[in-house]
């Protein structure tokens, strides 16, 4: 059976031997100073057992050195600065797409504005992107200049906000989707704007569901 702890055991053994020898101590002397039995010390030095955290502390006190000088696995916790702001262990880039210009498709490079970095735990499943909004048609729900997280999907439930391609797939709009018989109404939240009627004469295509709104404070 492979001993996966053997490399660490060897490092600890070498460290104990080096520190003991530098002080001219015998194993008996080290046992007396640390309060660890001679047989237990022998197990550590001969790589038979992995040292316990409690005994690492006893040896560090006996030698007058940091615990990482005994067991290197303590190095990260001992040397970590206390004034660091914790960050997520992993983030993923979510592309930001701007408003559509001329006849560029939504996912064209010219509409790429950069990335927002998010923790995977905060994102829905599937493909996602941020859409940079322009205009006040969805205020107060979505203020002008916000970033709206979009989950790519071809349909949404009645009343949900969707990113919709209109005008021959060259313009993106965020509206609430309401199906009414043979046509669909794309409803703004701002009452000063009129709904967009989608039918065979004015087709549109849903590209995703609005999941979250974020806005950077200036």
Find the angle CA(112)-CA(218)-CA(122) to the nearest 5 degrees: 60
Which of 9, 31, 146, 175 is flagged as catalytic?
Answer: 175
Q: How far apart are CA 110 and CA 8, in angstroms?
A: 52
**In terms of Cα–Cα distance, which of 86, 146, 161 is closest to 119?**
86
Which of 31, 34, 60, 137 is flagged as catalytic?
Answer: 137
Query: Is 58 among the residues known to form the active site?
Result: no
Q: Do the Cβ atoms of 150 and 210 come closer than 8 Å?
A: yes
Query: Is 113 among the residues known to form the active site?
Result: no
Q: Is the dihedral of CA 184, 211, 136, 166 positive or negative?
A: negative
DSSP H or E stretch at residue 33: helix 27-34
Which tokens sit at 182? 């043979």
* Distance of alpha carbon 135 from the chain centroid: 30
C-alpha torsion 124→93→205→175, nearest 10: 70
Q: How far apart are CA 56 and CA 191, in angstroms?
A: 69
- Which residues are known to be catalytic? 137, 175
């Amino acid at each position: 059976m492979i001993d996966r702890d053997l490399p660490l055991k060897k490092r600890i053994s070498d460290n104990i031997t080096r520190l003991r020898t530098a002080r001219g101590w015998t194993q008996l002397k080290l046992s007396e100073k640390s309060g660890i039995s001679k047989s237990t010390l022998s197990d550590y030095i001969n790589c038979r057992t992995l040292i316990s955290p409690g005994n690492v502390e006893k040896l560090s006190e006996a030698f007058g050195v940091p615990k990482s000088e005994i067991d290197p696995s303590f190095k990260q916790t001992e040397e970590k600065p206390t004034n660091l702001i914790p960050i997520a262990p992993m983030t993923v880039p979510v592309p930001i797409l701007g408003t559509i210009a001329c006849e560029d498709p939504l996912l064209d490079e010219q509409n790429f504005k950069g990335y927002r970095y998010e923790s995977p735990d905060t994102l829905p499943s599937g493909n996602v992107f941020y859409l940079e909004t322009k205009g006040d048609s969805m205020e107060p729900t979505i203020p002008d200049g916000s970033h709206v997280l979009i989950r790519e999907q071809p349909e949404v439930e009645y009343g949900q906000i969707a990113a919709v391609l209109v005008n021959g797939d060259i313009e993106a709009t965020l509206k609430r989707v309401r199906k009414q018989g043979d046509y669909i109404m794309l409803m703004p939240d701002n009452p000063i704007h009129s709904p967009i009627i989608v039918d065979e004469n004015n087709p549109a295509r849903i590209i995703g569901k609005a999941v979250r709104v974020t806005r950077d404070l200036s």
